[in-house]
């Protein structure tokens, strides 16, 4: 009986709470007065239409209301200070499902509308600037963006927001799915443009795109395919959280890259990185925690490698650097990382070996060899033979007899065997090896 009465009481309280929710229309005469104007109603309003001057304090009140019961918020007639939605103004107001922005809004600040539960938004005609992560949406609910008539700063193409000149892709709705094709003429993927677009698997970039902004593809956890052949600059944490992205079969090719930003590819499961001669700077932690990375090729014009660029990339055993003058390593204790210094091999132009051996931090690398070294470390032509790393060894497939030589990354020969053809297994301990066939070609192989 007592349990029954308790349940009835709980239901009555809940019913009273539901009944007490209200819709209000408020006009403020003084910015910062919303909380005092509403009083106890702050926690019971589910729909609010607000007019008049508002400031940061009022947005803070609205944010708290949006974490409680406020679901519909109309600020169309509100007058925000400086015609701006301030940074983090409504951050995590996750109960808000409908939002009308002030008609006078010129700018939307960093993460100003992050974490809302809106499925659509109309941007006012006055809007001129949207900060990175302004609409950060980890739940992926925002599916539609529209523009008020008369906006001269932005345009819409295929449901995505671009700068008016269509050169910068500003924002893709996080609810988009599948494959995205960016139109020719686009030059830049803006900062946070695809932030938390967790259902997009492929992005096709035109040749005109040369720049990728900071966090452009942040937390695109299902992205597996994107072409980077024309890219010259990649910003901070551009591929952060892109857990499924491993390049093209493990290889990230950046033939025209000039700048690789801080943490740009950090913690990805990429195996090999290839850059061209335009590369000048690798920024801090660019390949930090890339625990599957085996091999890196760096162009001849590389000038600078910044702090911890390859820190904790503990499987990296081969670095080929074509720069005749050793690149400066900025503010760090290691040339690549401590394990590479002890066990890896650095390949440099033959005439520059002594320069690297005497250069600051590069002189910690135990094995420095000429690029034209005697072990023939080049790409294996797999048209005739196939070498596959397996658990406890390698599998060699071919149609003709072949001489197989197995080297450690330091160049030390550990096994030599002639195979009659067909499929043959060679047992090896766990590690990274270079496999040379018929004394000419070689390939890096991981034995697990």
Please report whether residue 318 resides in a domain: no
pLDDT score for 404: 87
pLDDT score for 294: 96
Torsion of Cα atoms, 125 then 126 then 131 then 132, to 10°: 10
> What CATH number is attached to the domain comprising 145?
3.80.10.10
**Residue 297: pLDDT above 60?**
yes
Q: What is the mean pLDDT of residues 420-425?
A: 81
As a whole-number percent, the residues of the chain with pLDDT over 90 amount to: 75
Q: What is the mean pLDDT of residues 81-107?
A: 98
Please report whether residue 368 resides in a domain: no
CA distances (Å), origin 415, targets 75, 418, 436: 74, 10, 11
CA distances (Å), origin 160, targets 107, 249, 259, 351, 435: 18, 29, 27, 52, 48
Please report whether residue 330 resides in a domain: no
Determine the length of the chain. Answer: 448
**3-state class of 406 per DSSP?**
strand
Cα–Cα distance, 305 to 273 (Å, whole number): 15
**Residue 417: pLDDT above 90?**
no
End-of-domain residue from the set 152, 171, 192: 152
Lowest mean pLDDT among 7-11, 17-21, 206-210, 373-377: 373-377
Q: What is the mean pLDDT of residues 95-122?
A: 98
Q: What are phi and psi of 160, to 5 degrees?
A: -110, 150
**Residue 289: pLDDT above 60?**
yes
Q: What is the mean pLDDT of residues 428-432?
A: 82
pLDDT score for 413: 79
Cα–Cα distance, 407 to 377 (Å, whole number): 10
**pTM as predicted:** 0.80
DSSP bridge partners of 395: 388, 425
Reported confidence tier of residue 443, pLDDT bands at 50, 70, 90: low
Question: Would you tell me how many other CB atoms lie within 10 Å of the CB of residue 401?
Answer: 11
* Most confident segment among 209-213, 246-250, 387-391: 209-213
End-of-domain residue from the set 132, 152, 172: 152
Token pair of 100, please?
Answer: 């009308």
Reported confidence tier of residue 37, pLDDT bands at 50, 70, 90: very high
pLDDT score for 442: 56
Please report whether residue 210 resides in a domain: no
Lowest mean pLDDT among 17-26, 278-287, 364-373: 17-26
End-of-domain residue from the set 127, 152, 177: 152
pLDDT tens figures, 224-245 = 999 999 999 999 999 999 999 9
Reported confidence tier of residue 410, pLDDT bands at 50, 70, 90: low
> HSE on the CB side for 333, CA within 13 Å?
4
**Residue 171: pLDDT above 60?**
yes
- Helix or strand holding residue 312 (H, E): none
Reported confidence tier of residue 445, pLDDT bands at 50, 70, 90: confident
**Residue 370: pLDDT above 50?**
yes
* Most confident segment among 131-135, 388-392, 401-405: 131-135
Closest-CA residue to 446 (of 297, 290, 315): 315
Domain of residue 134 covers 22-152
Q: What are phi and psi of 295, to 5 degrees?
A: -140, 140
HEC letters along 27-85: ECCCCCCHHHHHHHHHHCEEEEEEEEEECHHHHHHHHHHHCCCCCEEECCCEEEHHHEE
Cα–Cα distance, 434 to 445 (Å, whole number): 6
Mention every residue, 6+ apart, whose C-beta is less than 8 A from residue 341.
Answer: 334, 335, 364, 365, 366
For the chain, the average pLDDT equals: 90
Cα–Cα distance, 354 to 350 (Å, whole number): 9
pLDDT score for 328: 94
pLDDT score for 384: 65
Q: What angle do CA 416, 421, 424 make, to 5 degrees?
A: 60
Contact call for residues 119 and 97 (beta carbons, < 8 A)? yes
Transcribe 159-209 into DSSP letters: TEEEETTS-EEEE--TT-EEEEEPPTT--EE-TTTTTT-TEEEEEE--TT-
pLDDT tens figures, 56-72 = 999 999 999 999 999 99
CA distances (Å), origin 214, targets 8, 120, 246, 265, 438: 54, 25, 19, 12, 46
DSSP bridge partners of 199: 177
Cα–Cα distance, 50 to 24 (Å, whole number): 8
**Residue 411: pLDDT above 70?**
no
Cα–Cα distance, 95 to 71 (Å, whole number): 5
**3-state class of 352 per DSSP?**
helix
> What CATH number is attached to the domain comprising 399?
2.60.40.3080
Lowest mean pLDDT among 83-92, 117-126, 415-424: 415-424
Question: Would you tell me how many other CB atoms lie within 10 Å of the CB of residue 325?
Answer: 14
Please report whether residue 399 resides in a domain: yes
Please report whether residue 17 resides in a domain: no
Please report whether residue 61 resides in a domain: yes
Q: What is the mean pLDDT of residues 266-280?
A: 97
pLDDT tens figures, 115-164 = 999 999 999 999 999 999 999 999 999 999 999 999 999 999 999 999 99
Contact call for residues 346 and 368 (beta carbons, < 8 A)? yes
Please report whether residue 175 resides in a domain: no
CA distances (Å), origin 293, targets 272, 311, 313, 316: 6, 11, 6, 5
Token pair of 323, please?
Answer: 């720069």
pLDDT score for 423: 82
**Residue 49: pLDDT above 70?**
yes
- How many structural domains are present in the chain? 2
Question: Would you tell me how many other CB atoms lie within 10 Å of the CB of residue 39?
Answer: 7
Contact call for residues 442 and 375 (beta carbons, < 8 A)? yes
């Amino acid at each position: 009986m007592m349990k029954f009465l308790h349940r009835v009481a709980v239901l009555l309280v809940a019913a009273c709470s539901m009944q007490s929710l209200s819709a209000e229309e408020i006009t403020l005469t003084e910015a910062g007065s919303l909380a005092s104007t509403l009083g106890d109603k702050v926690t019971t309003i589910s729909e609010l239409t607000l007019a008049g001057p508002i400031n940061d304090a009022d947005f803070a009140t609205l944010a708290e209301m949006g974490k409680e019961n406020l679901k519909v918020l109309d600020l169309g007639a509100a007058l925000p200070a400086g015609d701006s939605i301030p940074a983090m103004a409504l951050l995590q107001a996750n109960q808000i499902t409908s939002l009308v922005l002030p008609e006078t809004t010129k700018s939307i600040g960093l993460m100003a509308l992050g974490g809302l539960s809106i499925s659509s938004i109309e941007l006012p005609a006055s809007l001129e600037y949207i900060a990175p992560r302004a609409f950060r949406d980890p739940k992926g609910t925002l599916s539609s963006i529209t523009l008020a008539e008369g906006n001269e700063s932005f345009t819409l193409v295929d449901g995505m927001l671009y700068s008016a000149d269509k050169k910068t892709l500003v924002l893709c709705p996080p609810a988009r799915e599948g494959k995205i094709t960016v139109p020719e003429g686009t030059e830049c993927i803006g900062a946070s443009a695809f932030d938390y677009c967790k259902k997009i698997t492929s992005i096709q970039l035109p040749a005109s795109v040369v720049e990728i902004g900071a966090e452009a593809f942040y937390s695109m956890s299902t992205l597996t395919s994107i072409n980077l052949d024309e890219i010259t600059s990649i910003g901070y944490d551009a591929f952060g959280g892109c857990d499924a992205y491993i390049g093209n079969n493990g290889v990230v090719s950046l033939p025209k890259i000039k700048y690789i930003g801080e943490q740009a590819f950090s913690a990805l499961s990429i195996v090999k990185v290839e850059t061209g001669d335009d590369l000048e700077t690798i920024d801090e932690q660019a390949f930090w925690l890339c625990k599957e990375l085996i091999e890196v090729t760096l162009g001849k014009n590389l000038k600078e490698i910044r702090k911890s660029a390859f820190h904790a990339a503990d499987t990296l055993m081969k670095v080929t650097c074509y720069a005749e003058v050793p690149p400066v390593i900025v503010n760090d204790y290691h040339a690549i990382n401590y394990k590479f210094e002890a066990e890896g091999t650095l390949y440099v132009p033959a005439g520059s070996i002594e320069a690297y051996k005497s250069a600051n931090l590069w002189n910690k690398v135990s094995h420095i060899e000429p690029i034209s070294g005697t072990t023939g470390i080049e790409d294996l032509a797999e048209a005739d033979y196939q070498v596959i790393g397996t658990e406890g060894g390698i599998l060699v497939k071919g149609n003709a007899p072949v001489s197989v030589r197995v080297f450690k990354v330091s160049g030390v020969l550990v096994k030599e065997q002639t195979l009659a053809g067909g499929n043959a297994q060679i047992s090896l301990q766990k590690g990274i090896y270079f496999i040379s066939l018929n004394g000419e070609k070689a390939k890096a192989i991981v034995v697990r």
